[in-house]
Structure 1
């Protein structure tokens, strides 16, 4: 049985929060540069130039890529042979979020109650934490700061099996067309298929963590990703002001579902598709 102290978790999460806010992942940065090379619209190319320059300044100066530093989504894999000592896992993670957002001068965007008084918690906690037990004695943490300009345009469709592949494509494209330029494209689109309504949404969030150059291991879903990306890039939404680079990638994750169901969730992320990970 391996032991880890909660202070180690808190410190790791704090650093991850700052890294994710300052440093665009290399695969996303390279996808933006590739999009700049292939973008057909002069205005679109100019917008991509500004997006790329913004990411470079943020990295060089340790400044947030975007003023909306998001609500922190945390995916945790806990080895069943690991003992966490000194407090609870969730408390340690939330302490790390508070530390990272305070030390990093990141905008605190979380309200404690969603409808009536909407009082800001002043430290961006609590995070949205998903925990899974796995074999081994390691602790894997991935964080995904999610801005709400794009989150607000995400959606879910409860299809039936008869809708099939074409129904899934239509559902995804309808959501993207409704979102239009509001999520600060070029977007990265996470699609979750299967499970229940909530599980499909979980899959769509997890999909955003996969490298943009890595297609789904299942060939049919890999083909679906390619088809959806082509469809989205034909919409003309482009990099905020129109063009041919509406999305950088479409990542699909899927899971088992009920015989009567075909849930499809779409989580849209803006061009600042931020994430960070650690294994402790």
Structure 2
């Protein structure tokens, strides 16, 4: 699997999806029901995965399946090529994130070789959580990038937009809003960088990942919203990019963990697992 797919993913020739969420299983992923059973030299997969990024065009996906009993230790990771017999997909109509073609994947007696299993059997849940910790920093940085671009454009706009004989940029009510967003975004970006540094060093970064995943989309949505308003009604139109960016970034408040789950993780890491609010 690695020899065939990793070079293609790295070159951009192939896209791989991460298939964890199910219609009735989101944040409580340990309850997933998509199953894989052994049949000779194959895994046979049945179930549905929902709200999957790249579902509309992915070439393959890592499917989190129940291969054992209940709970986290019964979950394994299996790679599925999405052109296999028994795989179907649908694409959602969402407010934003159109390029990601989020949708559902359906598996009906889909057969893949036993060698498509990733990692040891029963370690899928751990693999998912480790992937989340890293990807949460990437999501935060992506949101911050959209927000900083919006702020840069708004700074230039307010320098030239005249009201009552003065540029908007000279008004404290305008300039201070932008200053606040710049400060919050810069601080959140540093938390995301800390996550990546700690990950590279092999250090625990779960709390920091949750912090930046909560703050990154939240601060970015607020910044882009401000930029839209400071442009007046043209900012609300489709001729300018703010309404699209706002919808795109807002969707990432949900992906890879909701704000409520991020706060629960931060609290759990601070107080200890015996005080976990979701146990």
Mark yes or no: TM-score above 0.5: no
Q: Highest relative contact order (Cα 8 Å, sep 6+), 1 or 2?
A: 1
Structure with bigger gyration radius: 2
